[in-house]
Structure 1
Amino acid sequence: MSLESNSSVEVEVEVEVRVDTEFIGAGCNRIVNNVSWGACDLVSFGSQNAVAIFCPKSAQILTTLPGHKSIVNCTQWIPSTKDAFKVPQNEEHFIISGSADGVIIVWGMCFKKRKWRQVMEAPQPHMKGVTCIVGIMISQTIAIIASTSSDGTVFIWEMILPSSIGGDCKLSCLESLVVGSKPMVALSLAELPGNTGHMVLAMGGLDNKVHLYCGERTGKFIHACELKGHTDWIRSLDFSLPICTNGEKDSLLLVSSSQDRSIRIWKLAFHDSPANSEVPYRKGISLASYIEGPIFLAGCSSYQVSLESLLVGHEDWVYSVEWQPPLRASEENVWYQPQSILSASMDKTMMIWRPERTTGIWINAVTVGELSHCALGFYGSSWGPHGDSILAHGYGGSFHLWKNVGVDVQNWQPQIVPSGHFAAVTDVTWAKTGEYMLSVSHDQTTRIFSPWRNEVRFGDRNSWHEISRPQVHGHDINCVAVIKGKGNHRFVSGADEKVARVFEAPLSFLKTLNHAMPQQSNCLEDAQDMVQILGANMSALGLSQKPIYVQVTNEAREEKIHDVSDSLETIPDAVPIVLTEPPIEEQLAWHTLWPESHKLYGHGNELFSLCCDHEGKLVASSCKAQSAIIAEIWLWEVGSWKAVGRLQSHSLTVTQMEFSHDDKFLLSVSRDRQFSVFMIKRSVRYMFDRPILLLFGTTTEGIMTRLTVSIAGWVGGAGGGAGEGGNGRSKHSKVEEVGEVSYQLIARHEAHKRIIWTCSWNPYCHEFATGSRDKTVKIWAVQNGTSVKQLMILPQFKNSITALSWVGHSGSGNGGLLAIGMDDGLIELWRVSGGSAAPALRFHPFLCHVSTVHRLAWRRNNIEDGDGIMQLASCGADHSVRVFQVNISR
């Protein structure tokens, strides 16, 4: 792309800009039926309005699929793990997703190239949210799909798969069933054994019954019978593959789970009564008929349903049950389904149920789970395609994966999974030297994501993971600022509680960072020697986080470990640990907290924006406001954390602030459609608790001389000679560095017609950009430190501008790349230089967010020539944080 740079001499530079997704972090929607593990060994799940895909082997989210305009409630792979053996050569796999607005979308994935496409949208949407989607393959190119909704309907679909990769897919509605005022929330489909062409549909929901419908492949489903026994809502249903007796398929097993904490296994078997006889279930119900179970007709055959087993073991609602996928027998192309059921419950456990070999009684063979502060557990579970892995998703939007690593005996061990926020991510920033990325969210957590180099597990590359959860709070967190400059890693966060909180990295995190990034170990050793806090404990109310000191004895630590209780009344003490590989959810939630060092009181409303200067001396904060007094910007001195300034200019909420790169100016933008530029001056005075003492020494000739002691020497930076031990300090005199901050409003302009959401400084000069709801980006320049002039207006965009971030690179003159994020989730890069601007790159929608981009932040890079790789972090209302790798070449 040819871009012009207008300076004193007009130069045309050929610049190629490419972008790839480096990392995606996102949590799972907290909805039943949301997660599906496909035969292609990829997992699909809904993350806000997007369908996200992650690979269990790499523990990375591969992509997010935009298309839904509402929250994604459920996903389903076609073919599923149950049907994988029916289409072994299928090179394209499909996902069907349903959202809260009733829309159903079909997605396609080329298995070899891992390329995604939106195939089609269902021609007939539900009137309300889709709650469950199931599907089975009845041939290599035809699948039957069933979907249910809270509008009280169940749709039966026929899906004809394309004959070639990238071809058209046909989805037609065969039938619409109206189930009444109590909607169905669980479905399962199966082909009836021995009766080619007939299918059975099981559905359950709010009436506590399991309903069976029979029909043909072309539709015409009729109500066959209902199964009673559960005493609360039916939450999950799953048919097994047909069971063979004497070489013939003559029965099916149906497993159901309920909020009554129980699991029931039903058996559908051939009935010996003649096909033309009256169906017994239509007669009056007697004790004998109840024990035997109802009988129904399907074509020329009759089937009897009976209760096979009742499984009791969970202590809370059982949200999910699923049969283990079929496995290949020793003979070629012979498949069998193990008698094994996976269940997940809100009691924070998953169980594997199997019949005992001798008695045939179903027992709980395996139990795995998590220990957490949260009282709520798992919303669903899935088998891996090979039956050796099980996956659950929980209340905190998190995944929990276990794998059987045993050889002769079963040994289920937790595995690394991707993680992320489960609510809107409001702010993101980089560490002061770019080692990691810090994000905050309305899910009331602060999270740290970092590249982790592990050659054994991930090969010779960096794989991004969440390595710490420094703050778990009781209020929605709106903003964050990393303290730059020298010293330990620190950050300030602001939430709806009107108080800003300061956190400092504990020793356990610094050592973990050494393992994640060994190349940074030399830089971190000095900081470790000064830190005496190992970790932090969470308070009972989830607000303050108290430090755990290194001096705690090993005996006391062991006592705390054994005293951990999983009751709701107590919160076990954290056990800070040094991580040698990426952590799992339980470690993140408990053992990676940072201690809180200070609280900053002053604002009258919820905190909205924070920023820190580049020297790490000042922090600016703002809050939600509807008056000029409340809309003050507060300045805090780093270290003493005293309020050193209250800047008045705006009349409504200050939405974003940023210091210029030389820290001379503070820029703020507001809901009042104005921006303000303040000149910031910081002077230093040195206070002594007594007069400076004269020091005398003896020369080599024995002559007594008077030494002049510089202030720097007394403060501690002038080497030996001043004070004892040559460390530049005297035990007889105390020197205190006192900072004085002065500020002056040099410009205030009503710059846009709507709310100004965002701003960013040019890294090379005193130019800045503002972005607004009026869909425009304007470039301004500070002139002579006394006024501001508008330089240009970029062409109007299609959506509101919600995020800006300006970065420089060599060969760009005094300009660089301006990243622009919009309300629809899209991101563009513009080259801005010398009063001119030109588009450099528009990100592909599959790379971008699916809703509002809240913040953009470039990683600190030092690019010496015109070619280089930079990384851009983004966060948005779609619950995700992303890192893009931007390649610039000439």
Structure 2
Amino acid sequence: MSPAAGELAGARGEGGGMEVQRVFIGAGCNRVVNNVSWGACGLVAFGAQNAVALFSPERGEIVTTLPGHKAPVNCTLWLPTKKDVLQVRGRETYYLLSGSADGAIMAWKIGSGKGDWSHVLQLPGMHKKGITCLAGRMVSDTVAIFASTSSDSIVVIWEMVIEPTPGGSCKVSCLHTLSIGSKPMVSLSLAVLPEQGSHLILAMGGLDHKIHIYCGDKSGKFIKACELKGHSDWIRSLDFSLPVMMSSGKHNLFLVSSSQDRTIRIWKMDSEAVSSGSTAQLRKANIEMTSYIEGPLFVAGNTSYQVSLESLLVGHEDWVYSVEWQPPTLLPGDEAHQAMSILSASMDKMMMIWRPEKNTGLWINSVTVGELSHSALGFYGGHWQPDGKSILAHGYGGSFHMWRDVGLDSENWQPQIVPSGHFAPVSDLTWARSGQYLLSVSHDQTTRIFAPWRNQVKPGDMIYWREIARPQIHGHDINCVAFIQGSGNHRFVSGADEKVSRVFEAPLSFLKTLQQATLLKPDVSDDFDNVQVVGANMSALGLSQKPIYTHGVKESLSSNSTDGPDSMETIPDAVPTVFTEPPVEDQLAWNTLWPESHKLYGHGNELFSICCDYEGKLVASSCKAQSAPVAEIWLWEIGTWKAVGRLQSHNLTVTQMEFSRDNVFLLSVSRDRHLSIFSIRKTKEGVEHHLVAKHEAHKRIVWACSWNPFGYEFATGSRDKTVKIWCVQDASSVKLLATLPQFRDSVTALAWMGRDRASNAGILAVGMDNGLIELWGVSGGRVSADSTPDSSPLSAACMLRFDPLLCHVSTVHRLRWREPNSSDEKSALELASCGADHCVRVFDVHCRT
């Protein structure tokens, strides 16, 4: 898979001989208004927990995440904006501003052609609380004026000076601070006044139901001009148009506003030149009458502006969170043309495009698109593509929804593929036993499957990863997951905050979709006839997913991605579907569920960790615990689903467990700082187990453990910032072989991959609390089958430190290597990771010999 230049940053380590590339990032969008910005460079920026993520709408994938913020990202703004059409021409570098919940604002420089991203500077800390909105405009090729507002009731006006050369720097200075009063502003819009190139107008709206208009100049000194009243609830979004040439030859400015009162208002600002002597008399004479009849009047420079309500748009059934004018286009003669078209997005799960009717001039809703799912809430914002051909919404489920006008003679808006991912910390992930896809679970109460979509890809094309199924949508935060043996090995068990483990089996619709996505040969589908379940239906309380059976009718499922089979007509909610192209959000939420086949009752608290042996026949589970009786590890037998063992050793929560590769030992680590080794032996009567060794491993909580695939060595990682490598000796004791040099932060995830059995060489992946990942080469120190150590001492060296641009921005929760096939030994190793930053990541690791 050849990476696009510059987008998949590689990194080399101290030991050399290794390179890493980012293959995939899955992440959901922070659920706040103003979080998303579609830049003139073509990229969409959004906040994904503490990172700023950039995605390419053309490819439908996240291209990078930018680390730096210490709190969730609330809003983003591209400069030049989509309205700065004159400043965009021929530009190679763009700037991105991002504001976070701790009041910090950062600036980033993006080389759109080369795909290089760099952190330029952090703005002075003017705000004491979270940033809620950023708005700005370019006033020349090198100068931008922008405003920021925060929950601290302050609006700050900034100036950004950009050196035009590709390697040029930028400087940001604070020009002016406006104190608003007790009720903060949550929406801003900034524009250059028509026929007044040096004068700016700033609109702000918020909790007091009024729109406040301020006028100023390039020096940033803004004074209040007037207030616009009419809305009866919080004002959530404001957007100025570019000046529009009217039939009278004057340029008028339009402002659109949306509110939680479910309405949209369009305000017209009519300009009239005044002589300097008559300004005071004009204001005094006209302001009283006109403010009651037409609206307020204000003066900026030598022009007066009469404000009037152009239109009141009523159509949405819930809060209207965003409104945006269609981006202008550049006409011959360097004139910008503003289309009279507005996009609105609402919590009623609808986006609407409003335009004036040709004959009457009345504004009507000409296009409506939306989400038909049963999810509780709708859209936080809607955005135009710079050319106006596509529209994008981001929703309550952290999801994106994009439609493109593919019509030739008339409009025809069709859903498009967009990135997807979790919108809460991702607690665990695992590769399918076949290695064809990745399954992740999260505190957003969903389980998701990601896979490379190879269908309809021409030779030489990049293969993009997609979310192909959402097997479990739950009512509790999900903490852990493991694959177990099943038909086609597509069966998993997950544990959540509800004390019960649940077992899910792949339905026929998923098996056929997987065949489409991964281009499996038909002979792999021999067991399709044995699968009687085509899909699953969600219960009213969102806990158990009921199977939908084929009823013995061997009808082939429709391969059309919109229509289900005829036998499903009686089920209004879930229509199991075979997808021939990657599913979109609506389809993922309702057409890709897996049926639940069993529940495992026994634990007294919330499930915390789960693992399965390599035969797929024995599951070990643990729960949150404050005492020894609750901290038991339960063993479950696949098939009978009986509890066949309760292992007692730890006093506090068992944080992670793993079976040795030959299933002889079970390793567990715990909050009580100890590790335990249990011997496990299957007999005709069930399972025999006994505690082999218990050892105080670290000085702080032990978060992670991993076995060497070739022997009885294993690694443990702890909050004390150390990784220790141990071996099982004489089947009755544990010996410390090595302690790696102290890491920069708590070690929270480990994964050991074997490379060469003869020299017992492998790669140990280490994930930390700060989101960074390192790869260590480990070799020697072998313990043979009869538990006698080899003569070669164990050696370990850091081979690779991942570039922070590739890594998570907060705690790494899990690392997993994909088991390499014997046929692809020379290809790259694949490492998957997940973390508290809501991200699932896949890396290609190339070992150069």
Give the TM-score normalised by structure 1: 0.89
The 1-side partners of 2:739 and 2:486 are apart by: 34
1:862-873 → structure 2 map (5 Å cutoff):
862=821, 867-873=826-832
Secondary structure of residue in 2 paired with 1:752: coil
The 1-side partners of 2:457 and 2:293 are apart by: 57
Q: Judging changes above 3 Å, is the alpha-carbon distance between structure 1 residues 78 and 288 closer, same or farther for their aligned structure 2 residues?
A: closer
1:734 is aligned to none
Q: How many residues align?
A: 815
The 2-side partners of 1:209 and 1:558 are apart by: 53
Contact 1:279–1:296 (Cα < 8 Å) also in 2: no
2:784 is aligned to none
Contact 2:22–2:844 (Cα < 8 Å) also in 1: yes
**Superposed displacement of residue 484, structure 1:** 4.3
Contact 1:657–1:669 (Cα < 8 Å) also in 2: yes
1:185 is aligned to 186
Q: Judging changes above 3 Å, is the alpha-carbon distance between structure 1 residues 621 and 157 closer, same or farther for their aligned structure 2 residues?
A: same
Q: Judging changes above 3 Å, is the alpha-carbon distance between structure 1 residues 281 and 740 closer, same or farther for their aligned structure 2 residues?
A: farther
**Superposed displacement of residue 455, structure 1:** 3.6
Contact 2:126–2:156 (Cα < 8 Å) also in 1: no
Q: Give CA deviations for 1:240-292 in whole Å, capped at 9, x if unaligned.
A: 00112369552100000000000000011113665433377778986653222
The 2-side partners of 1:454 and 1:836 are apart by: 44
> Is residue 706 of structure 2 the alignment partner of residue 747 of structure 1?
no
1:468 is aligned to 469
2:518 is aligned to 517
The 1-side partners of 2:253 and 2:800 are apart by: 56
1:317-716 → structure 2 map (5 Å cutoff):
317-329=319-331, 331=332, 333-456=334-457, 460-484=461-485, 487-519=488-520, 521-523=522-524, 525-551=525-551, 572-684=572-684
Contact 2:564–2:576 (Cα < 8 Å) also in 1: no
1:830 is aligned to 776
Code of the aligned partner of 1:254: L
Q: Judging changes above 3 Å, is the alpha-carbon distance between structure 1 residues 411 and 170 closer, same or farther for their aligned structure 2 residues?
A: same
Secondary structure of residue in 2 paired with 1:278: helix
The 2-side partners of 1:245 and 1:540 are apart by: 55
2:47 is aligned to 46
**Superposed displacement of residue 422, structure 1:** 0.1
The 2-side partners of 1:607 and 1:882 are apart by: 24
Q: Judging changes above 3 Å, is the alpha-carbon distance between structure 1 residues 483 and 647 closer, same or farther for their aligned structure 2 residues?
A: same
Contact 2:202–2:213 (Cα < 8 Å) also in 1: yes
1:846 is aligned to 805
The 1-side partners of 2:146 and 2:507 are apart by: 52
2:833 is aligned to 874
2:9 is aligned to none
Contact 2:250–2:271 (Cα < 8 Å) also in 1: no
**Superposed displacement of residue 460, structure 1:** 2.9
**Superposed displacement of residue 374, structure 1:** 1.2
Kindly report structure 1 stretches of 4+ aligned residues shifted beyond 6 Å.
Answer: 279-285, 552-564
Q: Which of 798, 807, 816 matches 2:744?
A: 798
The 2-side partners of 1:866 and 1:468 are apart by: 29
**Superposed displacement of residue 809, structure 1:** 1.4
1:858 is aligned to 817
Code of the aligned partner of 1:350: M
The 2-side partners of 1:262 and 1:58 are apart by: 35
The 2-side partners of 1:313 and 1:552 are apart by: 47
Secondary structure of residue in 2 paired with 1:453: coil
Q: Which of 732, 750, 754 matches 1:808?
A: 754
Q: Give CA deviations for 1:787-843 in whole Å, capped at 9, x if unaligned.
A: 110000000011000000000113872130000000000000000111110000000
The 1-side partners of 2:387 and 2:209 are apart by: 33
Greater displacement, 239-248 / 786-795: 239-248
1:884 is aligned to 843
> Is residue 248 of structure 2 the alignment partner of residue 302 of structure 1?
no
Q: Judging changes above 3 Å, is the alpha-carbon distance between structure 1 residues 162 and 274 closer, same or farther for their aligned structure 2 residues?
A: closer
Code of the aligned partner of 2:323: V
Q: Give CA deviations for 1:358-415 in whole Å, capped at 9, x if unaligned.
A: 0000000000000112121000010001101000000000000000000000000000
Code of the aligned partner of 1:621: S
Code of the aligned partner of 1:770: T
Secondary structure of residue in 2 paired with 1:610: strand
Secondary structure of residue in 2 paired with 1:646: strand
The 2-side partners of 1:429 and 1:761 are apart by: 16
Unmatched 5+ residue regions in structure 2?
1-13, 558-562, 781-793
Give the TM-score normalised by structure 2: 0.93
1:695 is aligned to none
**Superposed displacement of residue 868, structure 1:** 3.9
Secondary structure of residue in 1 paired with 2:686: strand
Code of the aligned partner of 1:414: P
Q: Judging changes above 3 Å, is the alpha-carbon distance between structure 1 residues 14 and 77 closer, same or farther for their aligned structure 2 residues?
A: closer
**Superposed displacement of residue 487, structure 1:** 4.3
Code of the aligned partner of 1:27: G
**Superposed displacement of residue 84, structure 1:** 3.1
1:215-230 → structure 2 map (5 Å cutoff):
215-230=216-231
Q: Judging changes above 3 Å, is the alpha-carbon distance between structure 1 residues 406 and 786 closer, same or farther for their aligned structure 2 residues?
A: same
> Is residue 34 of structure 2 the alignment partner of residue 33 of structure 1?
yes
Secondary structure of residue in 1 paired with 2:828: strand
Q: Judging changes above 3 Å, is the alpha-carbon distance between structure 1 residues 812 and 338 closer, same or farther for their aligned structure 2 residues?
A: farther
Unmatched 5+ residue regions in structure 1?
1-12, 565-571, 685-738
Q: Judging changes above 3 Å, is the alpha-carbon distance between structure 1 residues 868 and 459 closer, same or farther for their aligned structure 2 residues?
A: closer
1:752-767 → structure 2 map (5 Å cutoff):
752-767=698-713
2:716 is aligned to 770
Code of the aligned partner of 1:827: I
Measured on the aligned residues, the alpha-carbon RMSD in Å equals 2.1
Contact 2:290–2:296 (Cα < 8 Å) also in 1: no
Q: Judging changes above 3 Å, is the alpha-carbon distance between structure 1 residues 36 and 560 closer, same or farther for their aligned structure 2 residues?
A: farther
Contact 1:866–1:889 (Cα < 8 Å) also in 2: no
**Superposed displacement of residue 864, structure 1:** 7.3
1:134 is aligned to 135
Q: Judging changes above 3 Å, is the alpha-carbon distance between structure 1 residues 14 and 380 closer, same or farther for their aligned structure 2 residues?
A: closer
Q: Judging changes above 3 Å, is the alpha-carbon distance between structure 1 residues 457 and 243 closer, same or farther for their aligned structure 2 residues?
A: farther
The 1-side partners of 2:810 and 2:652 are apart by: 25
Q: Judging changes above 3 Å, is the alpha-carbon distance between structure 1 residues 229 and 459 closer, same or farther for their aligned structure 2 residues?
A: farther
Contact 2:29–2:394 (Cα < 8 Å) also in 1: yes
The 2-side partners of 1:318 and 1:798 are apart by: 46
The 2-side partners of 1:373 and 1:486 are apart by: 31
The 2-side partners of 1:281 and 1:875 are apart by: 62
The 1-side partners of 2:250 and 2:494 are apart by: 62
Code of the aligned partner of 2:653: T
Secondary structure of residue in 2 paired with 1:174: strand
Q: Judging changes above 3 Å, is the alpha-carbon distance between structure 1 residues 512 and 61 closer, same or farther for their aligned structure 2 residues?
A: same
Code of the aligned partner of 1:788: V
Q: Judging changes above 3 Å, is the alpha-carbon distance between structure 1 residues 288 and 112 closer, same or farther for their aligned structure 2 residues?
A: closer
1:279-298 → structure 2 map (5 Å cutoff):
289-298=291-300
Contact 1:679–1:746 (Cα < 8 Å) also in 2: yes
Code of the aligned partner of 1:327: T
**Superposed displacement of residue 87, structure 1:** 2.9
Contact 1:194–1:250 (Cα < 8 Å) also in 2: yes
Contact 2:85–2:329 (Cα < 8 Å) also in 1: no
Contact 1:868–1:889 (Cα < 8 Å) also in 2: no
The 2-side partners of 1:254 and 1:561 are apart by: 48
The 1-side partners of 2:753 and 2:521 are apart by: 24
Contact 1:866–1:888 (Cα < 8 Å) also in 2: no
Q: Give CA deviations for 1:737-790 in whole Å, capped at 9, x if unaligned.
A: xx5100010010011000000000001100000000000000000112111100
Contact 1:405–1:413 (Cα < 8 Å) also in 2: yes
Contact 1:500–1:599 (Cα < 8 Å) also in 2: yes
Q: Judging changes above 3 Å, is the alpha-carbon distance between structure 1 residues 562 and 389 closer, same or farther for their aligned structure 2 residues?
A: farther
The 1-side partners of 2:334 and 2:570 are apart by: 53
> Is residue 274 of structure 2 the alignment partner of residue 315 of structure 1?
no
The 2-side partners of 1:147 and 1:57 are apart by: 30
